[in-house]
Amino acid sequence: MMDCIFCKIAAGEIPSDIVYQDEDLLVFRDLNPQAPVHLLLIPKAHIPSANQLTTENSDVIAKIFERIPALAEELGFDKAGYRIVNNCGEDGGQTVSHLHFHLLAGRSLQWPPG
């Protein structure tokens, strides 16, 4: 995916503030944070959105969610809590067409979102 900004970040072609990575997933800080901690968790493989998840490509979703408790403990927000968000498609507010989960923490988050 030559023109996908998150593929370029996953490939190291665009710099990012990386918090964790392994062969399947990358966690980095959002450029425009909406909370004191705002991480983006992405599969390294290009999946456009949650709408394209299948039995063939969904293993990475478990890997992403299995990583979250460790991240929360390492960064110190496991006890206070946090929010995991996926925006899908236009009405969902998705602006980058590479599947990602927002992990927000460090302040009391309002519900429902706008």
**Interface residues for ligand 5GP in 21-60 (CB under 6 A)?**
28-32, 40
Torsion of CA 26, 28, 34, 37, to 10 degrees: 110
Q: Which three-class secondary structure state does DSSP give residue 89?
A: helix
The reply on whether position 7 binds ligand 5GP by CB under 6 A is no
Please tell me what DSSP assigns to residue 65: H
Contact between 77 and ligand 5GP (CB under 6 A)? no
- The Cα angle at residue 61 between residues 39 and 8, in degrees rounded to 5: 55
93 binds, among ligand 5GP, Zn ion, none (CB under 5 to 8 A by kind): ligand 5GP
100 catalytic per annotation: yes
Name the segment binding ligand 5GP (CB under 6 A); options: 50-58, 59-67, 88-96, 105-113: 88-96
Contact call for residue 46 and Zn ion (CB under 5 A): yes
| CB 39 within 8 Å of CB 27 | yes
Residue 62 lies near ligand 5GP (rule: CB under 6 A): no
Catalytically active residues, by annotation: 100
